[in-house]
Chains A and B, each alone.
Chain A
Amino acid sequence: MRFHPHNPESPSFKKKVYSIYIIFSVITCVILLRLIYLQGIRYERFWRLSERNRIRNEVLYPERGYIFDRNGIIIGDNRPSFDLYIIPEECEERCKFTLQKLSSILNIDFSFLEAGYNEWIKNHRPFEPFPVKMDISYESLIKIEAEKFFLPGIYITEIPVRKYRNDVAFSHLLGHLGEISENELKVLKGKYSLGDIIGKTGIEAVAENFLKGEKGWEQIEVDALGRKIEVLSIKNPVRGSPVYLTIDARLQEFAHSLLEGKRGTIIAMNPKNGEILAYAVHPSFRASDFVRGIEKIKWQEYTSNEKAPLFNRGSFALYPPGSTIKPFFAIAALEEGLINPNSKVNCPGFIWIGNRKFRCWKKEGHGVVSLINAISASCDVYFYKVALLLGKEKMAKYLSLFGFGKETGIVLKEKKGLIPASESFTPGEIANIGIGQGAILVTPIQLLRAYAAIVNGGYLVKPRVIMKISEKDGVELDPLLIEKLPIKEKTLEIIKEALFEVVNGERGTARWLRSKTLEMGGKTGTAQVVKLEKYKFYKEEDLPEKYRDHALFVGFSPYRDPEIIVIAIIEHGGHGSTRAAPLVKKMIEKYYELKK
């Protein structure tokens, strides 16, 4: 054995050993410094990270509050929506196979699904579920559950989704839901998060705060793959408060059926307290299209439809009132002492104002008419004269008194309308306003409320839709507001009598609606639509639809103490007496039938 002697005490060897000492000490110091940094300085951050790593919060969505009609019938509740996802991580290469099977079960084009899936996995982490289809049908759900074993990676969630008693009949009143917009998120910051569904219009929007309920959450312990290990704590979601409407669901549905195939609106109200009993607008939209946020294509379909199914004709459409405005000018003239009930006017079928001939709707004329005759037979000549007597200021004053030209206060989005104001008018234009044409535009709800004020003894009421919320009175949301108008009772009685004559009088424009049991009163109206010269002398039935006049009728019952007042406006319907009045009568009949 050749061993080399060696002196471990030699300076050169000592130097080597000491340098190892030093290097090891330096390394130890580096590790210590690193630990001080991680465990001392950054401790809180890492502690938080470790907590978040372990505990995940999952949102539990609440049910939206139920919506009831005045009789406790459920108009809007919830149903479970089953949403189908695939978790790429759990099926890996078998995901394609799962997608293929799902595409045949759900009838979705496989290449479309595959493209969506490929895009998804490029931009998301493998544990993030890829949405295959939202809201799958029960039949699909059963098929999928049955084949679950052969469908690796699928994941089905269940969340509550709004469901309505009738998909179309209540749409314009209840409004529609939709995914929260960025703007709304900013305004309502803190209360909502991205992707939440909120009420966008109608009652759903007005009562959003009550209907929305409270989100719950589930604190779950997960492993690194996001798999649930244990539920640590849970806060159940709270269903939104129920909202009770003044609507009678059955009357509303009946009104909707009356409008089938037409364009227009029927609104029924209790004239004493302004409670809306029915609020039907046609054409309508399918509320179910909106409950998960509307798809772009469907939205475009709605907005490009020329029949404007999203247009709320009840409170947001403006119409010339036509003859339905006449009673208000009669009231104005009586109150101002310009006429008395017995004043007589001869109607030869026309009147000269300046150098222009103004025709009555009845070419041969009404002959000598009193005020009551003038209203019941809707004599134009009489009201040309009344208008000229009143002048612009007084017309505007009384129109404004009856709530025209301003909002009614209904909780829905509404227009103010138009009444003759600052501009100056020629006598011809003034006369035209007298028969509800020209510089006067009203919303159906305005007109209905103004008539209610005539028949209820001079009280202008705010139309109400929300009766109560939960068990407490809903006054703060939709309060009862009644305003006594400074009109003599006698005046109103005369006009009310005239309205009775419209239906029951010999010369009444709606005399074929006469019925002993109903004791109905009302007023017809035909709002002229601007026509081309060549159609001027056509009969109504021969005109192309869009040039036909709008048909209006406001009716109430019973005469002595009216409990229901109904307005029907049929766009391009023709004469109010023939097209709108029968609908009002049917509504009133239905009202009594339901009351029994």
Chain B
Amino acid sequence: MRRDFYIILFTAILIAVTGIINIYSITHHSSPHWLRQTVWLIISVIAALILFRIDYLRLYNMKWILYLFTLILLLMVDIIGMEGGGARRWLKLGSWSFQPSELAKLTIIIIISSFIDEKWKPEGWDTKDLIKAFLLIFIPAALVLVQPDLGTAGILIIIGGLLMIISGMRRKTIFYIFLFFIISIPILWIFMLDYQKARIITLLNPYSDPLGKGYHILQSIIAIGSGGITGKGFGRGTQSALKFLPSRHTDFAFSVWCEEHGFIGAVFLLALYAILIFMLLRISFYAKRRFGSFLVLGIVVMFIVEITINMFMVSGMFPVVGVPLPFFSYGGSSLLVSFMGIGIACSIIWDRITRRLVQ
């Protein structure tokens, strides 16, 4: 029981430490990013331990306060946020900055899990429920979208949507949602910004413009491919060391890892993620309340979605969107929220340990 938590926590810390080593390899010449990330890791582990101890039912009670708090933070970002790379994403506190859109992921998981719990319909959701749930997801997602941060906004919608689908959906509804997506693609295309369109075009053929718009994808693929089986060695990634690779310590950290440690390193990292996901999924069976089970599933879905998008993106199977690899990429907010997710998910274990009865 409790051992499950420690295995999960240990695995997550292992991934994070690997990530810090990777960050050190890339940036120790220029800035002490690795040190900053280490501080964040310590904070994150403490947060996970605290959340693990807290009764997860409190989250249920606090859900609206949390929801409102998140919306305010997101609004603050839109108004007074710090700019970086053409978008306002951060809130600054001294020399530390925080990305509220990361927190929004947890908020949506909590709010949707409780929604599922409250409005549970064994036969599947009706349209009214779906609209309500959609609004709950869409409001924070829209605030993220205007930053603009298409990647995170998309992830918020995907996490919330998947949670709704998993919890139960009529075949007909699934069909309609599918239809809606098909129709919305061309409409979405019209409203997309030029650089977003370009990213999708170049994904289909990165070689068309290797030094222009296909640059990021191609450089990342070259980095991964040139690593081979064993990699070029720690600190020897030529692609990354010479700044060929963009955002190499954040979104493209996995490319650097693959370049320096090759296929073996990549498999090692994938194995750690597999352990993490499988262990977390096990916890969903411990919950005595529907809210708890879906909380765990939501967090697992969040990790899976982020891992998938990031790894697909850096290996050229998905357009370039700003999605970090959880636990591994540089970024305090992402690390903190990921560990908080672990803490929350594992606190479900207490259902089993204390054998609290369901009324």
Contacts and interface: CB of A to CB of B under 8 A. Distances in A.
Indicate, yes or no, whether A interacts with B. Answer: yes
Interface of A: 1-6, 8-9, 13-14, 16-17, 20-21, 23-24, 27-28, 30-32, 34-36, 38-40, 42-43, 45-47, 49-51, 53-54, 125, 127, 221-224, 229
Nearest to B117: A4
B113 to A, nearest CB: 12
Interface string B287-317: 1111101000100110010011001100101
Interface string B258-295: 11001100110010011001100100111111110100
Interface in B330-350: none
A47 B226 contact: yes
B225 A17 contact: no
B31 interface: no
A39 B224 contact: yes
A101 B300 CA distance: 62
A6 B239 CA distance: 52
22 contacts: A3-B289, A4-B118, A4-B120, A5-B289, A5-B359, A6-B358, A8-B293, A20-B300, A28-B274, A35-B315, A38-B225, A39-B224, A39-B262, A40-B263, A43-B228, A46-B222, A47-B228, A49-B226, A53-B238, A54-B238, A54-B239, A224-B215
Contacts of A45: 225
A9 B60 CA distance: 23
Interface string B238-259: 1100111000000000000011
Contacts of A30: 317
A221 B304 CA distance: 39
A17 B315 CA distance: 28
A24 B315 contact: no
Nearest to B293: A8
Contacts of B215: 224
Contacts of B284: 8, 17
A327 B43 CA distance: 112
A20 to B, nearest CB: 6
B229 interface: yes
Q: Name the prevailing secondary structure of the A interface residues.
A: helix
Can you list the 10 inter-chain pairs with the closest CB atoms, starting with the nearest? A46-B225, A50-B226, A6-B290, A38-B225, A5-B358, A46-B226, A47-B226, A39-B263, A43-B228, A8-B285
Contact of A24 (B117, B239, B258, B304): B304
B289 A43 contact: no
B315 A6 contact: no
B293 A39 contact: no
Contacts of A20: 166, 281, 297, 300-301, 304
A28 B270 contact: yes
Contacts of B258: 35, 39
B95 interface: no
Contacts of A221: 242
Interface string B213-237: 0010001011111111100000000
B interface, size bucket? 35 or more
B15 to A, nearest CB: 15
Nearest to B223: A50
A337 B243 CA distance: 93
Given A16-B297, A20-B304, A36 B263 contact: yes
B244 A223 contact: yes
Contacts of B359: 3, 5
A50 B238 contact: yes
Contacts of B267: 32, 35
A1 B291 CA distance: 12
Contact of B222 (A9, A28, A53, A222): A53
B57 interface: yes
A322 B117 CA distance: 121
B287 A8 contact: yes
Contacts of A28: 270, 273-274
A51 B242 CA distance: 11
A6 B211 contact: no
A31 B270 CA distance: 9
A491 to B, nearest CB: 80
A13 B281 CA distance: 12
Contact of B304 (A6, A8, A27): A27
A6 B166 contact: no
Contact of A31 (B167, B227, B291, B312): B312
A16 B215 CA distance: 40
Contact of B288 (A5, A32, A127, A224): A5
Contact of B358 (A3, A42, A229): A3
Nearest to B286: A8
A35 B285 contact: no
Given A6-B288, A53-B244, 5 more contacts: A2-B118, A5-B289, A34-B317, A40-B263, A125-B211
Nearest to B221: A38
Contact of A1 (B60, B222, B223, B278): B60
B234 to A, nearest CB: 17
Contacts of A6: 287-290, 293, 358
Contact of B293 (A1, A13, A27, A51): A13
Nearest to A42: B225
B61 interface: yes
A47 B230 CA distance: 13
